[in-house]
Amino acid sequence: MAATSTIEWTDATWNPTTGCTKVSPGCDNCYAERFAERWRGVRGNYFEDGFDLTLRPNMLGRPGQWRTGKRIFVNSMSDLFHRDVPDAYIDRVFDVMERVERHVYQLLTKRPERMRRYLRARYRGRTVPEHIWVGVSVESNAYAWRVDMLRDCPASIRFLSMEPCIGPVDAVGLDGIGWVIVGGESGPGKREMDPAWVRNVRDRCVALGVAFFFKQWHKAGTGRQLDGRTWDEMPQRLITPQSPYRHPTIPRSGADANL
């Protein structure tokens, strides 16, 4: 929802939904849940329902209000492919992303089975527009299957977020992946990340020519350097406002007419 972001790999966040439910150990210390639950029961607060899944149609017009092209992390406070988000609402979110094409949208999920099904149905043999990047969170080898499902998504740029990295990820294949983000857990109850896990991913990315982004160790002064340097690589096919992907015009109607 913010026009700027402290998340190192994006420029802004956009939350057409908020709230979620836990699906794997990577969710245990969710920062978004911790933030939203502070306000549960506070009348009139945006998060008075805490971290309950909530549709936010009032936010659908936000990308259209940002006149300069940005990298936008979609749903930093939720998961668009949560089972309680109707397909019709996901359609509205994708309509916005396709129409307001001056931005790059970074779409991240822990529910790749639904994302794969949705993308295949929406695009029917076509590829997801290049300015919409699709990714999955993978916190350990136990969730390598999410990457297998991501590879089946008809996207030009697929990415992985290994944050929080709470176990070895050496069995997570990187073929078909354009970008990998690795980061340690932060906040109360944070679990330690072994530097060997990070180096394994970094070395494989370098060997395969996959963009590698090291986000953090564990915050609180631990820094972002890995072996004496900062790794801030991005996919090469970054779409810019000067060379956007062109999608057929989508008719404007109803509540979305001002996008």
Bridge partners (DSSP) listed for residue 72:
12, 105
pLDDT tens by residue, 75-112: 999 999 999 999 999 999 999 999 999 999 999 999 99
Distance CA 52, CA 229 (A): 40
Rounded to the nearest integer, the mean pLDDT of the chain is: 91
Statement: residue 252 has pLDDT above 60: no
Bridge partners (DSSP) listed for residue 133:
106
Bridge partners (DSSP) listed for residue 137:
161
How many C-beta atoms surround the C-beta of residue 50 within 10 A? Answer: 18
Looking at residue 7, its pLDDT comes to 92
pLDDT tens by residue, 127-164: 999 999 999 999 999 999 999 999 999 999 999 999 99
pLDDT tens by residue, 21-63: 999 999 999 999 999 999 999 999 999 999 999 999 999 999 9
pLDDT tens by residue, 176-228: 999 999 999 998 899 999 999 999 999 999 999 999 999 999 876 678 999 99
- For the chain, the distance separating the N- and C-terminal CA atoms, rounded to the nearest angstrom, is 16
Confidence at 65, pLDDT banded by 50, 70, 90: very high
Q: Is the pTM of this model over 0.85?
A: yes
List, edge to edge, every strand of the sheet that includes 211-216: 12-14, 71-74, 104-109, 132-137, 158-162, 179-183, 211-216
Distance CA 14, CA 62 (A): 7
- Asked whether 5 and 74 are in contact (CB, 8 A), the reply is no
Q: Is residue 208 within a helix (H) or strand (E), and if so which, with residue range? A: helix 195-208
- Asked whether 258 and 87 are in contact (CB, 8 A), the reply is no
- Between 257 and 216, whose confidence is greater? 216
Looking at residue 237, its pLDDT comes to 56
Distance CA 13, CA 199 (A): 29
- Asked whether 198 and 182 are in contact (CB, 8 A), the reply is yes
Whose tokens are 């908020």? That residue is 18
Looking at residue 1, its pLDDT comes to 54
Looking at residue 220, its pLDDT comes to 66
Structure token digits, residue 201: 């991913």
